Amino acid sequence: MNYQDKFLQYMRDKGMNVTRQRLRIADIFFALPGHHTLEELYGIIRQSDPGIGQTTVYRTLKLLCEANLALELQFGDGTARFEPISAKAHHDHLICQQCGRAVEFHSDGIEGLQTGIADEYGFKLLGHAHYLYGICPECRKKETE
């Protein structure tokens, strides 16, 4: 089942209205790569459909998160970013504290450590978020110039 079918089913199961605006927002969101703030998404959506308001975009993003179709990510700068949950492998993030750049990475070693720690304490993992904060090479280079 694709994201559209899952989103439609979620809204119907919750007795919600399936609106053209919600479907348009979801289509645009899932077509974009990477992580996006509400403001970034709203700017893109407004270009194609000026009648969609920022509140509608925000509420639709929250619905996508509730439907387990999107993640709301906090990179430590006070601004939420949203990312589609897709079929791609789980990944973690390196975040530059100066420019805000986020780099996705996957580490079997980290995944194994997390599983081992959960097992050691008798936890069944349901999910996790792993962020590493630092300064990216471009910002470090600017510091030395």
CA dist 121 and 118 (Å) reads: 5
Asked if the model's pLDDT at residue 86 lies above 80, the reply is: no
CA dist 46 and 41 (Å) reads: 8
Mean pLDDT in residue range 63-82: 86
Asked if the model's pLDDT at residue 81 lies above 90, the reply is: no
CA dist 87 and 120 (Å) reads: 29
Tokens 């509400």, residue located: 38
The chain-wide mean pLDDT, for the chain, equals 88
Residues of each domain in the chain carrying CATH 3.30.1490.190: 89-145
Specify the pairing of strand 80-84 against strand 70-74: antiparallel
Asked if the model's pLDDT at residue 87 lies above 70, the reply is: no
pLDDT at 5: 87
Asked if the model's pLDDT at residue 73 lies above 60, the reply is: yes
Asked if the model's pLDDT at residue 13 lies above 90, the reply is: yes
Q: Does domain 1-86 have CATH number 1.10.510.10?
A: no
pLDDT at 19: 92
Mean pLDDT in residue range 24-39: 90
pLDDT band at 130 (very low <50, low <70, confident <90, very high): confident
pLDDT at 88: 56
Instruction: Provide φ and ψ at 57, rounded to 5°.
Output: -60, -50
Residues 118 and 101: beta-carbon distance below 8 Å: no
pLDDT at 51: 92
Instruction: Provide φ and ψ at 82, rounded to 5°.
Output: -120, 140
pLDDT at 38: 93
Residues of each domain in the chain carrying CATH 1.10.10.10: 1-86
Which of 105, 91, 81, 89 is CA-nearest to residue 32?
A: 81
CATH (one of 3.90.190.10, 3.30.1490.190, 2.60.120.650, 3.40.50.880) for 89-145: 3.30.1490.190
* Residue percentage of the chain with pLDDT more than 90: 48
